[in-house]
Amino acid sequence: MRVEVARFKASKSLRKARNRNLDLEIEISRPIYTEEKRLLLENYLGSKHVGPMVADEEGMRGFMFAGSKRSWEMDYFLDGELIAVGLVDLLPNILSSIYFFYDPSFSKRSLGIASMIFELEWAAREKCRWYHPGFMVRDCPAMSYKARFGPGEVLKNDGSWEPLVQHYPQPLSINPVDEI
């Protein structure tokens, strides 16, 4: 999925999620592995994920913190406490979200939604044309909420893009507090 940054307009519910998190301090830096982040990911995976993902140092370093010249990390702090981490790639004309994880005890903040808004704002400051929010799976609530960020496009099997509305003709009725 991709969203044209200049055409994005946050809905009322998306703005509410962003505004709920204006008290966070966001630090942007190159990705750096720490034990604090590993424990945060472990907590997140134990609460939010079903499947084989494991929060071990080797896996995290290889997947999330291998680092490239285009990789960046967005750390979210509340009163000095790290509560979320977002990893993105900044390419010419594109900001691409790689992974986001957070402390599940802050679920009511809709941190996943807010992080997407903050990433879109960063993409706009960098004058990117596109924001790629990562994988989106239609029937997976943990990913399909991304359809609320439009107007968007999805990549077809032939490598061309088509409007997201062809896949989601009706607005999604996902409660971001419960699902994200």
Q: Predicted confidence band at 177 (pLDDT cuts at 50, 70, 90)?
A: very low
Superfamily of domain 2-179: Gcn5-related N-acetyltransferase (GNAT) (3.40.630.30)
For the cut 90, the answer to whether the pLDDT of residue 139 exceeds it is no
Say yes or no to pLDDT of 69 above 90.
no
Q: What is the pLDDT of residue 165?
A: 73
pLDDT greater than 80 at residue 119: yes
For the chain, which residues make up each domain, given as ranges?
2-179
- Looking up tokens 């609530």 gives 141
More confident residue, 171 or 29: 29
What pLDDT score was predicted for residue 94?
A: 96
pTM for the full model?
A: 0.83
Region of 175 on the Ramachandran plot (φ > 0 left; ψ -120 to 50 alpha; else beta): beta
d(CA 3, CA 6): 9
Handedness of CA 76, 1, 39, 59 (dihedral sign): negative
d(CA 171, CA 107): 22
Distance in angstroms (rounded) separating the CA atoms of residues 120 and 5: 7
Is-cis flag, bond preceding 151, omega within 30? Answer: yes
